[in-house]
Amino acid sequence: MSILITGASGYVGQELAAALLTTLPSSTVTLTDVVLPTVPKSAAQHGSRAQCIEADLTNPSVVDSLITSTNRYDTIYLLHGIMSSGSEANFELGMRVNLDATRYILDRLRTVTPGVKVVFTSSLAVYGLAPSGYIINESNFPAVPSSSYGSQKLIIETLLNDYSRRGFLDGRAVRLPTVTVRAGKPTQAASSFASDIIREPFNGRPAVLPVAKETEMWICSPATVVRNLVKAREIPAEKFGDSRSVNLPGLKVSIAEMLEALESIGGKERRELVEERYDADIDRIVQTWTPNFDTKRALELGFVGDVSMRENVEMYAKSLGSE
């Protein structure tokens, strides 16, 4: 079992690599990113089955040497990308990394290892503004993105569907909720604050909340996202039907509820490290994300539901204690 992960230096990439190395004893995992990835600490004992490669995937010859017919991967996880704020701020860069590099990888894969399994992390940002309270599933609402990031994700989903229909590849596009609580550093995602407001206080640092506390978000704990990414490769192709795109399970939660969980588990002094400072640019993007999803299709395909906000924050607090 040979697996390639792109964007493997990122938070989700690292967590996924650790999970694959730990749960698939016969697997070899190749981690690649524009910054040389490291083997996740939590999987250090499986380091002999991991390979780390620095690779700029916007360079076709780099992709060509990474993906060859003699070095066939069983599954490719495409996690690389410029995040939402970054793609909005730098249109050309987002197009080059999120669209062109990814398309080139798909074309390289279908040429040298046709039919190979590809798991693509898409995003619920493929959806634009929904009517208030409207509960979205995969078949009752059009994907009309309100950001360049969402547009680029939707275009790759569309290619992956067509490539899968034609038998070029076996694609699975999983639309991730906002992943929180993420360890590591604040990111260029417009949703970065949703982790920052928990993580930073737990590490004794201040955090900024750029949107109103009443804002509701559709989130998912890292543990559940990783379980579902592992699951994504195990689902038989024929179960997907006409579309390879799936809205992953998550949890609808208000920022106020997140802050309550923070205070309840971390105490008042941690809660007080969160400063409310409105940012119109971030808010404009976040307000286009609906928090209302019906993920029956995902659950029927075998993906798992998320934990409560409280359990989520507890898991994060516990992970700090164990380091």
Q: Hunting for tokens 């208000």 — which residue is that?
A: 254
CA 96, 98, 104, 108 dihedral sign is: positive
143 vs 251, beta carbon nearer a copy of itself: 143
Site for a copy of itself in 112-171 (CB under 8 A): 128-129, 138-148, 151, 154-155, 158-159, 161-162, 165-166
73 vs 168, beta carbon nearer a copy of itself: 168
12, amino acid identity: V
Site map for a copy of itself, 225-244, x if CB under 8 A?
-----------------xx-
For residue 58, state whether it binds a copy of itself (rule: CB under 8 A). Answer: no
- As given in the structure block, the two tokens for residue 309 are 């906000």
Beta-carbon neighbour count of residue 103 at 10 Å?
A: 16
Residues 320, 314: Cα–Cα separation, whole Å = 10
Site for a copy of itself in 89-108 (CB under 8 A): 91
The DSSP bridge partners found for residue 29 are: 3, 50
Residue in 77, 127, 149, 316 annotated catalytic? 149
Give yes or no for a contact between 164 and 170, defined as CB atoms under 8 angstroms apart.
Answer: yes
In the complex, least distance from residue 316 CB atom to a copy of itself, rounded to whole angstroms: 34
**How distant, in Å, are the alpha carbons of 114, 139, 162, 171 from that of 168?**
5, 24, 9, 9
Our answer to whether residue 149 is catalytic in this structure is yes
In the complex, least distance from residue 41 CB atom to a copy of itself, rounded to whole angstroms: 39
The DSSP bridge partners found for residue 152 are: none
* Count of residues near a copy of itself by CB under 8 A: 26
160 vs 197, beta carbon nearer a copy of itself: 160
In the complex, least distance from residue 195 CB atom to a copy of itself, rounded to whole angstroms: 26
Where b means 16+ CB within 10 Å and e means fewer, 191-209 reads bbbbbbbbbbbbeeeebbb
29 vs 176, beta carbon nearer a copy of itself: 176
- As given in the structure block, the two tokens for residue 57 are 């995937």
91 vs 278, beta carbon nearer a copy of itself: 91
Phi, then psi, of 270 in degrees rounded to 5: -75, -45
Residues with a catalytic annotation lie at: 149
Q: Given the rule CB under 8 A, which residues bind a copy of itself?
A: 91, 128-129, 138-148, 151, 154-155, 158-159, 161-162, 165-166, 242-243, 245
